[in-house]
Structure formats: C-alpha cells, structure tokens
Copies of this chain bind each other. A is one copy, B any other.
C-alpha cells in the first residue's frame, strides 16, 4: 500500500514530495537526483542568469527522464528571460516565490506549464487559484530561508479550507510522521528543503552539512522581521551581526553589505560570514545518505504511520 495523491498522477511522480528550490543549492544535478528518486526536483533560478538557468535545465534533462521543475524567483532581474527558458525547454512545472506571478501566468498556462506558487497566507493562495495555478505550496515560518509569519500547522488547514486546488505543506517536515500528519490535514503532498541539505547529492560544503546535522531545535534565528526580506538561518556570527545592526538601527547599506552573497558564502563553506539557511526542523535531521535513500525512508515511515493510525483508537 502506497501513499495516494493526485499530485502523483497529474505530475507523473512516484511520491508527492517536492525538493524545495534553494538558491545556489538546488542545481540541475540535485534536481535530477530528486526526480530520479521519485519526487519532483526543482532547479532554483534565484541568483542565476537566464543563460545559467538554461545550462542547469539542460544538465537536469541529461541526468533524468523524469519530470522536474524550476523555481522562479520573481524579483530576479532576468525573470522574463528565465521564463522564456522554461517555455523553450518545455519544463513541466514551475514553483514561484518572492512576488506576484500574474504577469507570467498567461504564457505559462498557454504552454501547459503547471504553476505552483509558494504562498505564506490564505489571500495569496486565493489569488493563485484565481490566476489558474495548478496548486500552491503553503509554507510555514519554520522553514529555512525567506519566510512568512504563519506557521505550517496554522497555515495549511486554513489554505485547504479556502481553495479548491491541491495544497502542499512546507516547513517543519523532515520525516515520515510529519509527512503523514500533513496529509491527514488534507495536504496533497509536502515540500522539504532542510532534510535534503545533508544528502550526498546536495552541493553544499561539508561544513554546512555538519552544522545542520548538529543543530539543536533552537539553533535557528530570524532577521529582517517587519521588512519584506525575512530570513531564517542557523545562528552564527553573520546572523548575529545582522541582528545587532537591526537593533542599533544600522543603515540598510550596512545590512546589505553583510548579507550580500552570504548564502553563497555558506554554500562554499564560510560558517562565520555565510548565511547558513535551514529550518527549525534541522534539529530532527540526523541521517544523510542519498536523496533516494532519504525519500524512501520518509515515504516508508509515512505509509507505516498512516497505515497504523487506527491503532490510536480503541474500545
């Protein structure tokens, strides 16, 4: 008995699991590994030129014949050209973040691309549905990277109640029990990021992986609250310095100088000056291995959990 979800049929997946689009991390190679493992691999376009996105898409196509997607960072300076790369390459799925996808919807829908905005609240989900989105990813504030205010547990049921399209849950999910819990709430699937950071195929420095594997529950912090640029990452000198600048009313220029390229630095092993993005669930991530192995473990546990849920009932 395996998990049923319309996502599998509609998107051609074995498992209703998206590997989240993570800037500088979710490369064509990583996305291909996720798709080969049975989930949906997502290439993150953030920080890439259109030409670089085209390269990653080409590499991904070379490494898998399974469906994959591109995560569109809508504030990218080359967003128009990046959307064109998606269309030219007949990429079947895009997720969108950091902005309003309206302008690109007609072309994407006309080409048959399934558009799945990542949304932080009900209003954005309703708007996405109205625009013709195939589904939404409801992402909670416990996620790593750029975040909203609602938590996954509070957000997912409210979004499910408000729209008629499939809803994936993201944020705070790193094992089969939490995947099962989200599907019990009515989620059609889950998107995970932090748990894949430690995978063999994830192209981040070993020091970054080690920080995730050793993280305690309270080891993340958030900067930028009250701005449009709210980020969750593991506590380190860079994040602490940024928070200090916020408290002291440092200038935006000072903060930008500190944060500029900080994720890139972390990906390349700078644990002092880098921004080590990870979610609150990092404290649950203890095992690594291949993306395929991680997905199999999670799905097996989710199936076991759902299959035995009735045992929580008695006379």
Contact check, A184 vs B177: say whether CB atoms are below 8 A apart: yes
Chain B residues near A173 (CB-CB < 8 A): 153
Q: Provided the pairs A1-B315, A184-B184 are in contact, do residues A153 and B142 lie with their beta carbons within 8 angstroms?
A: yes
A121 an interface residue at 8 Å Cβ cutoff? yes
The 8 Å CB contact of A153, one of B161, B172, B180, is: B172
Which of A43-51, A256-264, A278-286 sits within the interface? A278-286
Mask, A194-209, CB within 8 Å of B = 1, is: 0000000000000000
- For residue A229, give the distance in angstroms from its CB to the closest CB of chain B: 16
Which chain B residues lie closer than 8 Å to A1 at the CB level? 310, 313-315
Least Cβ–Cβ distance between A8 and chain B, in angstroms: 10
Q: How far is the CA of A178 from the CA of B309 in the complex (A)?
A: 14
Residue A63 lies at the interface, judged by CB distance under 8 Å to chain B: no
**Do the beta carbons of A182 and B181 come within 8 Å of each other?**
yes
Query: A1-16: which residues lie under 8 A (CB-CB) from chain B?
Result: 1-4
If the complex has contacts A3-B313, A307-B310, A313-B303, are A154 and B217 also in contact, measured as CB distance less than 8 A?
yes
Tell whether A217 pairs with B122 under 8 Å between CB atoms, given A154-B142, A154-B280, A157-B178: yes
Q: Which residues of the partner chain B approach A218 to less than 8 Å between Cβ atoms?
A: 121-123, 149-150
CA of A50 to CA of B168 in the docked complex: distance in angstroms? Answer: 49
Chain B residues with Cβ under 8 A from A185's Cβ?
A: 177-178, 181
A positions within 8 Å CB-CB of B: 1-4, 121-123, 140-142, 149-155, 157-158, 161, 171-173, 175, 177-178, 180-186, 216-218, 225-226, 247, 279-281, 283-284, 303, 305-307, 309-310, 312-315
